[in-house]
A and B are shown apart, each in its own frame.
Chain A
Amino acid sequence: VTFVGCVGSRLDSDGQEVGCSRYCCESMIGQALRLKREGKRVRVLYKDIRTYSRNAEEMYETAAREGVQFFRYDREQAPEEALAYADGYVTLRDDLLGQRVRVPTDVLVLAVGLRPQEENVSAQLKVAHSSDGFLLERHPKLGPVEAGSPGIFLAGTAQGPKDVRESVSQGLAAAAKAAGLLAKDTIEKEPITARVDLEKCIVCGICVPACPFGAIELIGKVKVGEIKFIEAACQGCGSCSATCNYDAIEMPYFTDQQIYAQIDAALAKRPEEKILVFACNWCSYAGADQAGIEKVQYPSSARIIRTMCSARVREEFVAHAFEQGVGAVLMTGCRLTENGSDCHYINANEQTKKRYDFLLRKYSRRGIEPERFQLKWISAAEGKEFAAKVREMDQIVQARLSGTAAKV
């Protein structure tokens, strides 16, 4: 009997790197040892043995001592390239010997890697998934069994490859979390959830896809049906409010009125010298804070306006700032890269990006220099990066001012 590890894990057939499947080494070795004890000749072909679970390393050693033979094959290749099975022999290059070896084999057992489910579940439930395709938890340390959307919990291999022990632990944790939610009659929330003004609302439905949590439902048809807000699901990011063209959605404590007032106050004197910075509550504002904690200096021309999410910043805020003659506008938010979003509202910062790209084109056409309107992702740890960006923009503002002065 010959076992082959890392089939469809770590490297897929296209040579793309995929994650370690974690459960297979222990499972393979456990079975190999049992078969060996039943008198079979057992070999295990592996890339690396990763027996990280409790007592698994001991089991590996026992298997080796009891005569299960281990062969390491080429780690740079998928098993279908590295191994050939024909006429009762598996041929491979034994990495440890540096020679090709033919292993007599009647039964070839493939330890197949775990793969994430096809899209449907994550799309239906509006649960984010990470770049490897498995569902993503709210926070790796502080919310390991909760999905980004409240009321949805993750357990076991939905979230990533795990062995039985880990799956059971996570299942118990998820059950406990769910029980905690069910034990109360009501759900307590921060008073920042969206308020819809049904008189202004025309039921256009544009806000429905904007909500990362599926908290807005359109009942019936556009314009004639009804918009329903599920307050328990709303997390208060304000994406919907920024999308609404009819000012029908208000975000308590971050109302349009409040934000306009902040913009006006910030730009009351010498607006051309100012840099207006929109910072999200979670990453960017904390990043600016971090600059302070680290005592990194940045120019006093920066005026920071906090919103819960960068997706709250609506087109009109930026337009208002430029109308007031602002030197520059900087939008910041949680990181968004090709590998996924760090956004605390699942992927709301994708809307930020979309909006920024649109506005940049718009203002460029109107003759506003693109360097005066920038977007920068700042994580909570990136105090230095924040300060550097503000310094850069301050120079842009100063250069523009001296240019203007020269003209006069």
Chain B
Amino acid sequence: MNMWEDDEPITLDDTLWDRIAEITNGAATACFQCGTCTAICPWGQVRGEAINVRKLIRRSQLGLAGGNGAADPWLCTTCGYCEALCPRGVDIPGVIHSLRQDAWRRNAVPKGLPSLLWDVHWDGNPWGQPPSQRFAWGRGLDLETYGPEHEVLLYVGCSASYDRRLQKVARALVDIFRNAGVSFGVLGEDEPCCGESVLAVGNDEYLDEIIASNTALFQKIGARTVVTLSPHCFDIFDTRYNVGEDFRPVHYSQFLAELAGEGRLPAMGLESLVVTYQDPCYLGRRHGIYEEPRLTLESIEGVELREMDDNREQGLCCGGGGGRMFMETPAEERFALLRVKQAAATGAEVLATACPACLACLDDGLKVAGNDNLRVMDIAEIVQMALVKTPEAAVAGANR
């Protein structure tokens, strides 16, 4: 007798099927169960055994949620590596998002996630930080509130507003914009949460409310070009918001490339710095922005860029996406640990990235790994350093 004969058979429930098919928008139906997703999911690398994404997709094809040996949909960092390699082009993160949505309706979400929604609701950020401290990052910088006279709105986002390490990135961007003569404004204490964390954990009902109120705000202040610090904020503005024709969200790495193209970035130089670059999933795989950040790094005199084993389309996720920032991951199961080792193997002094989630996760990974020869920096910080620290080099570069 086969093992399975002991199990009670699953009875297909047409209503359940309809609901899953509706919320996944049919995304899972095209899957023919090759299992590429299971084979390449980075969780398999850190856990030493494959996480069965294939089975999760099969269950959702049948109108079933996770369970029974299928991958846990809450593990997913939505890095999109599986989707990039899927031969049927199945939107696997989309299916997982739908399953999370379904979990909210069934009141079956992991502990701690409901309080995240309350934090966004009461404090305007998912970290539960006081709204009064939102603009702490800009203290002493003499920043202007965004108005119609400004070329761009600098949208800093929740992480960089509160996290001390990430605040430096926001300040670096200010420095760069001023050096490049960009007229810009900020929203200061009134800057709202974009809602990406709510999207990531799959509560689309609440997300709709956030988007509606933010859309009204952007329309009121006449936001046009919005430069975000985080690829996640950029992604949600770009894909979920419908503010108006003039509304143009860009990630700062794109914006720096635009400035360079217009000849507005001053020449930059450093004595010598070996850098490797971590592709943030929401810039790279999600929006195909692989080259702009690299061009910015390479345009700095003295910087040598070395690639890690997994790069661009095959880039390894930091582990912080898909709401994983708000869930606990045991230290030995963090992707960042692998990534830091890959970075060290290139012989780079700096592991650069362009995303606050990557920066935070990789910094943590570096602490666990313990490596005095490597630093984690944001591209904005490297550019700032190249502008400010060695004016001689900058002048030399400009004269060339």
Query: Which A residues fall within an 8 A CB radius of B?
Result: 41, 61, 64-67, 69, 89, 91, 93-94, 96-104
Q: A67-B29, A91-B9 are in contact. Are A104 and B14 (CB under 8 A)?
A: yes
B9 and A100 contacting across the interface, CB-CB below 8 Å: yes
9 closest A-B pairs (Cβ-Cβ)?
A100-B9, A102-B11, A96-B33, A102-B9, A65-B30, A64-B29, A96-B58, A101-B10, A97-B58
Q: How many A-B residue pairs have CB under 8 A?
A: 58
B62 and A101 contacting across the interface, CB-CB below 8 Å: yes
| A300 vs B383: C-alpha distance when bound (angstroms) | 87
Nearest Cβ on chain B to A65's Cβ, whole angstroms: 5
Nearest Cβ on chain A to B335's Cβ, whole angstroms: 28
Nearest Cβ on chain A to B92's Cβ, whole angstroms: 15
| A265 vs B243: C-alpha distance when bound (angstroms) | 103
Return the chain B residue nearest A101 by Cβ. Answer: B10
Return the chain A residue nearest B27 by Cβ. Answer: A65
Asked if B1 is at the interface of the complex by the 8 Å CB criterion, the answer is no
B59 and A97 contacting across the interface, CB-CB below 8 Å: yes
| A189 vs B2: C-alpha distance when bound (angstroms) | 64
B12 and A64 contacting across the interface, CB-CB below 8 Å: no
B21 and A67 contacting across the interface, CB-CB below 8 Å: yes
What 11 new A-B contacts, CB under 8 Å, besides A61-B88, A96-B54?
A67-B26, A69-B62, A91-B9, A97-B62, A98-B69, A99-B7, A100-B7, A101-B9, A102-B9, A103-B12, A104-B14
Which of the residues B9, B30, B54 comes within 8 Å of A64, measured between beta carbons? B30
A-B contact pairs, 24 of them (CB 8 A): A41-B14, A64-B29, A64-B30, A64-B32, A66-B26, A69-B61, A69-B62, A91-B9, A93-B4, A94-B62, A97-B55, A97-B59, A97-B62, A98-B55, A99-B4, A99-B9, A100-B4, A100-B10, A101-B62, A102-B9, A102-B10, A102-B11, A102-B12, A104-B11
Asked if B68 is at the interface of the complex by the 8 Å CB criterion, the answer is yes
Residues in B with CB closer than 8 Å to A96 are: 33, 54, 58
Which of the residues A41, A64, A69, A98 comes within 8 Å of B4, measured between beta carbons? A98
Asked if B5 is at the interface of the complex by the 8 Å CB criterion, the answer is yes
Nearest Cβ on chain A to B365's Cβ, whole angstroms: 35
Nearest Cβ on chain A to B26's Cβ, whole angstroms: 6
| A270 vs B58: C-alpha distance when bound (angstroms) | 78
Which of the residues B12, B26, B88 comes within 8 Å of A101, measured between beta carbons? B12
Interface string of B22-34 (1 = CB under 8 A from A): 0000100110110
Residues in A with CB closer than 8 Å to B21 are: 67
Nearest Cβ on chain A to B62's Cβ, whole angstroms: 7
Which of the residues B11, B29, B68 comes within 8 Å of A65, measured between beta carbons? B29
| A65 vs B29: C-alpha distance when bound (angstroms) | 5
Interface string of B56-78 (1 = CB under 8 A from A): 00110110000011000000000
Residues in B with CB closer than 8 Å to A99 are: 4, 7, 9-10, 68
Residues in B with CB closer than 8 Å to A41 are: 14
Residues in B with CB closer than 8 Å to A102 are: 9-12
Residues in A with CB closer than 8 Å to B88 are: 61
Residues in A with CB closer than 8 Å to B69 are: 98
| A41 vs B29: C-alpha distance when bound (angstroms) | 14
Q: A99-B9, A99-B10 are in contact. Are A65 and B4 (CB under 8 A)?
A: no
Nearest Cβ on chain B to A108's Cβ, whole angstroms: 15
Query: Could you say which of B29, B30, B68 has the most chain A C-beta atoms within 10 Å of its C-beta?
Result: B29
Nearest Cβ on chain B to A97's Cβ, whole angstroms: 5
Return the chain B residue nearest A95 by Cβ. Answer: B33
Query: Could you say which of B11, B26, B68 has the most chain A C-beta atoms within 10 Å of its C-beta?
Result: B11
Return the chain B residue nearest A105 by Cβ. Answer: B12
| A94 vs B17: C-alpha distance when bound (angstroms) | 16
Residues in A with CB closer than 8 Å to B59 are: 97
| A77 vs B21: C-alpha distance when bound (angstroms) | 31
Query: Could you say which of B9, B32, B59 has the most chain A C-beta atoms within 10 Å of its C-beta?
Result: B9
Query: Could you say which of B8, B26, B61 has the most chain A C-beta atoms within 10 Å of its C-beta?
Result: B61
Residues in A with CB closer than 8 Å to B12 are: 101-104
Within 8 A of A (CB), among B258-281: none
Residues in B with CB closer than 8 Å to A101 are: 9-12, 62
| A310 vs B74: C-alpha distance when bound (angstroms) | 74
Residues in A with CB closer than 8 Å to B61 are: 69
Nearest Cβ on chain A to B31's Cβ, whole angstroms: 8
Residues in A with CB closer than 8 Å to B62 are: 69, 94, 97, 101
Residues in B with CB closer than 8 Å to A69 are: 17, 29, 61-62
| A238 vs B68: C-alpha distance when bound (angstroms) | 70
Nearest Cβ on chain B to A154's Cβ, whole angstroms: 35
| A66 vs B14: C-alpha distance when bound (angstroms) | 15
B30 and A100 contacting across the interface, CB-CB below 8 Å: no
Nearest Cβ on chain A to B11's Cβ, whole angstroms: 4
| A66 vs B26: C-alpha distance when bound (angstroms) | 7
Return the chain B residue nearest A92 by Cβ. Answer: B9
| A312 vs B222: C-alpha distance when bound (angstroms) | 99
Return the chain B residue nearest A98 by Cβ. Answer: B4
| A41 vs B18: C-alpha distance when bound (angstroms) | 10
Nearest Cβ on chain B to A364's Cβ, whole angstroms: 54
Return the chain A residue nearest B55 by Cβ. Answer: A97
A89 and B11 contacting across the interface, CB-CB below 8 Å: yes
Residues in A with CB closer than 8 Å to B68 are: 99
Nearest Cβ on chain B to A292's Cβ, whole angstroms: 49
Interface string of B214-253 (1 = CB under 8 A from A): 0000000000000000000000000000000000000000
| A99 vs B11: C-alpha distance when bound (angstroms) | 11
